Amino acid sequence: MEEAHLTPATPSPFFPLAGPHKYIALLLVVLSWILVQRWSLRKQKGPRSWPVIGATVEQLRNYHRMHDWLVGYLSRHRTVTVDMPFTSYTYIADPVNVEHVLKTNFTNYPKGIVYRSYMDVLLGDGIFNADGELWRKQRKTASFEFASKNLRDFSAIVFREYSLKLSGILSQASKAGKVVDMQELYMRMTLDSICKVGFGVEIGTLSPDLPENSFAQAFDAANIIITLRFIDPLWRIKRFFHVGSEALLAQSIKLVDEFTYSVIRRRKAEIVEVRASGKQEKMKHDILSRFIELGEAGDDGGGFGDDKSLRDVVLNFVIAGRDTTATTLSWFTHMAMSHPDVAEKLRRELCAFEAERAREEGVTLVLCGGADADDKAFAARVAQFAGLLTYDSLGKLVYLHACVTETLRLYPAVPQDPKGILEDDVLPDGTKVRAGGMVTYVPYSMGRMEYNWGPDAASFRPERWINEDGAFRNASPFKFTAFQAGPRICLGKDSAYLQMKMALAILFRFYSFRLLEGHPVQYRMMTILSMAHGLKVRVSRAV
């Protein structure tokens, strides 16, 4: 044993030095490697990167406030690279780079296989998750549907009906002095609306007793867990062993699927019934019926012949139409509460509009006795006002339009939108991006950048959207990116404005809102910028 200690160490064939030299050499190799790493990162704009783990630790530490974390870096650099294990994410906020990615070199920046692999479980082959021919066909079919006057007229009726239901709930809450969660109510309203407009189904989550809705809960849980996948390198292992967040995800998707397939079965049965009755005029104008018909005709614009494809259509439209709109309505309400001058100016616009429209239509406005009016008289007055709101007349509400747009500038419903990179490329500002990585345009940051909006970029100021003649002033879609831009620009933008303006005109004409004292308003990290704790308010009638 003693001898063994005295025997000089045998040099390894892989490391031919022995004794202390071996350790010094090893240290030198490690130091040189670190130096090379630091040298190659010297021009990197973004958080500090470490060998192998990249910036994972800093990113995880800031995960709960990631959008603001990025604001900090992007205000200094315009383009930021964040290294992650085995990949890197490039974040952009300069409209010139955004135009390059979303339009000029569009084909190089698809959703990509990484994004698809994360989202597949929820979105399947639906339009949000599709690239190439599969996307093109769905886009064509859906664009055609969105342009139809039938759908627009039907939507206006549905949006008015559900806004009035929401008004009824608020009216009762104001009388009872009850606290309400506006985000939850908006989510119910937009879910009911998209189910009616999208799939011709009445699901009634906005009925006065506010029933539990397991679909909505499971859908939200799935969305949160999928967002976590973007920074959780272990998610595939968790999925394989069916543990932790991935086990919960599987459960949530099961619930979501049960609901969705039941909607499809119901619509198919109704279509058969209408056909058997021979009453074609009873055929509904919803989007799902249209896709079912296309699938049956074999002219299915993207393969909608089977229930799985229809399931993907349904869920993609739910995610498109429900959360985005409800989230924007919630942030709008928060902005109006925290900017009383804006709320007052909006109210004046709505009252003037009401008087003018009533004159135009020859309507005598009912006297309802003010805020203490009895319920029936108050409801009648609200319904009378709602009757004056049409697709065309809502176009006259320029200040309301500006307030909604300003809300989206600072609180875009989709705060970050990642794209895959097919081939190495150089962005217009000289940043190199590598095939297989990801480039993300960041609407949340873009709205707050002084280089995009001037020194008051961070202030909520709807007036910036109105020109000297009092008309709405548009901005380049590559600078105001809340609806994306280029060939994949949001298809539901007009529909979303129609619904939001219909609801907000009614609510802000007849109610005032006060944030519940001490209620925290913060976003939650998920693909949509929803509020982590909802939006708890007290509401009062204001005739």
Q: Rounded to an integer, what distance in angstroms lies between the CA atom of residue 422 and that of residue 435?
A: 5
Give the gyration radius of the chain's Cα atoms.
27
Q: Is 334 a residue that touches ligand HEM (CB under 6 A)?
A: no
Least separation, in Å, of the C-beta of 422 and ligand HEM?
Answer: 16
Q: Is 227 a residue that touches ligand HEM (CB under 6 A)?
A: no
Q: Which is nearer to ligand HEM, 331 or 513 (CB)?
A: 331
193 within 8 A of 321, measured Cβ to Cβ = yes
Q: Rounded to an integer, what distance in angstroms lies between the CA atom of residue 63 and that of residue 56?
A: 10
The residue number with the shortest CB distance to ligand HEM is: 492
CA 444 to chain centre: 11
Buried b / exposed e along 154-192 (16+ C-beta atoms within 10 A): bbbebbbebbbbbbbbbbebbeeeeebbbbbbbbbbbbb
Nearest-10 crossing angle of helices 324-338, 182-199: 150
- Among 217-225, 319-327, 341-349, 420-428, which window interacts with ligand HEM (CB under 6 A)? 319-327
Q: Which of 440, 495, 527, 530 binds ligand HEM (CB under 6 A)?
A: 495
Amino acid identity for residue 56 in this structure: T
- Among 370-378, 413-421, 447-455, 464-472, which window interacts with ligand HEM (CB under 6 A)? 413-421
Q: Is 42 exposed, middle or buried (0-12, 13-18, 19+ CB in 10 A)?
A: exposed
Q: Which of 187, 337, 446, 490 binds ligand HEM (CB under 6 A)?
A: 490
277 within 8 A of 289, measured Cβ to Cβ = no
The count of chain residues that interact with ligand HEM, using the rule CB under 6 A, is 23
In this structure, the number of other CB atoms found within 10 A of the CB of residue 28 comes to: 10
Q: Which of 119, 496, 503, 531 binds ligand HEM (CB under 6 A)?
A: 496
Q: Is 303 exposed, middle or buried (0-12, 13-18, 19+ CB in 10 A)?
A: middle
Q: Is 491 a residue that touches ligand HEM (CB under 6 A)?
A: yes
- Among 264-272, 331-339, 409-417, 426-434, which window interacts with ligand HEM (CB under 6 A)? 409-417
Q: Which is nearer to ligand HEM, 32 or 148 (CB)?
A: 148
Q: Rounded to an integer, what distance in angstroms lies between the CA atom of residue 310 and that of residue 304?
A: 6
Q: Rounded to an integer, what distance in angstroms lies between the CA atom of residue 149 and that of residue 99?
A: 31
Kindly report the backbone phi and psi dihedral angles of residue 537, in degrees, each rounded to the nearest multiple of 5, phi listed first: -140, 165
Q: Is 345 a residue that touches ligand HEM (CB under 6 A)?
A: no
Q: Which is nearer to ligand HEM, 79 or 407 (CB)?
A: 407
Q: Which is nearer to ligand HEM, 191 or 264 (CB)?
A: 191
Least separation, in Å, of the C-beta of 496 and ligand HEM?
Answer: 4
Least separation, in Å, of the C-beta of 541 and ligand HEM?
Answer: 27
Least separation, in Å, of the C-beta of 57 and ligand HEM?
Answer: 29
Least separation, in Å, of the C-beta of 287 and ligand HEM?
Answer: 8
511 within 8 A of 154, measured Cβ to Cβ = no
**Alpha-carbon distances of 56 from 20, 85, 232, 399, rounded to whole Å:** 35, 8, 9, 43
Least separation, in Å, of the C-beta of 140 and ligand HEM?
Answer: 10
Tell the residue number behind the tokens 């993609």, with chain if given: 316
Q: Which is nearer to ligand HEM, 378 or 441 (CB)?
A: 441
Least separation, in Å, of the C-beta of 125 and ligand HEM?
Answer: 12
What the block records as the tokens of 158 is 């549905």
Site track 423-462 with ligand HEM (rule: CB under 6 A), x = hit:
----------------------------------------
Q: Rounded to an integer, what distance in angstroms lies between the CA atom of residue 292 and that of residue 49?
A: 50
Q: Is 488 a residue that touches ligand HEM (CB under 6 A)?
A: yes
- Among 75-83, 169-177, 250-258, 320-328, which window interacts with ligand HEM (CB under 6 A)? 320-328
Least separation, in Å, of the C-beta of 94 and ligand HEM?
Answer: 18
H or E, element range at 329: helix 324-338
Render 77-127 in DSSP notation, one character per residue: HSEEEEEETTEEEEEE--HHHHHIIIIITGGG--SHHHHHHHHHHHHTTSG
Kindly report the backbone phi and psi dihedral angles of residue 262, in degrees, each rounded to the nearest multiple of 5, phi listed first: -70, -35
Least separation, in Å, of the C-beta of 432 and ligand HEM?
Answer: 23
Q: Which is nearer to ligand HEM, 184 or 417 (CB)?
A: 417
Amino acid identity for residue 103 in this structure: K
390 within 8 A of 156, measured Cβ to Cβ = yes
| CA quadruple 480, 162, 140, 297: dihedral, nearest 10 | 170
Tell the residue number behind the tokens 């859906």, with chain if given: 142
Amino acid identity for residue 523 in this structure: Y
Q: Which is nearer to ligand HEM, 127 or 386 (CB)?
A: 127
Q: Which is nearer to ligand HEM, 235 or 480 (CB)?
A: 480
Least separation, in Å, of the C-beta of 395 and ligand HEM?
Answer: 17
Amino acid identity for residue 253 in this structure: I
Site track 359-398 with ligand HEM (rule: CB under 6 A), x = hit:
----------------------------------------
Residues in 116-155 that interact with ligand HEM by CB under 6 A: 127-128, 139, 142
180, β-bridge pairs: 537
Has 490 been labeled as part of a binding site? yes
Q: Is 413 a residue that touches ligand HEM (CB under 6 A)?
A: yes
Kindly report the backbone phi and psi dihedral angles of residue 418, in degrees, each rounded to the nearest multiple of 5, phi listed first: -80, 145
Q: Which is nearer to ligand HEM, 245 or 527 (CB)?
A: 527
Least separation, in Å, of the C-beta of 332 and ligand HEM?
Answer: 10
Least separation, in Å, of the C-beta of 324 and ligand HEM?
Answer: 3
- Which amino acids are annotated as binding site for heme, given as ranges? 490
Judged by the rule CB under 6 A, the positions of this chain that interact with ligand HEM are 127-128, 139, 142, 317, 320-321, 324-325, 328, 408, 413-414, 417, 482-484, 488, 490-492, 495-496
- Which amino acids are annotated as binding site, given as ranges? 490
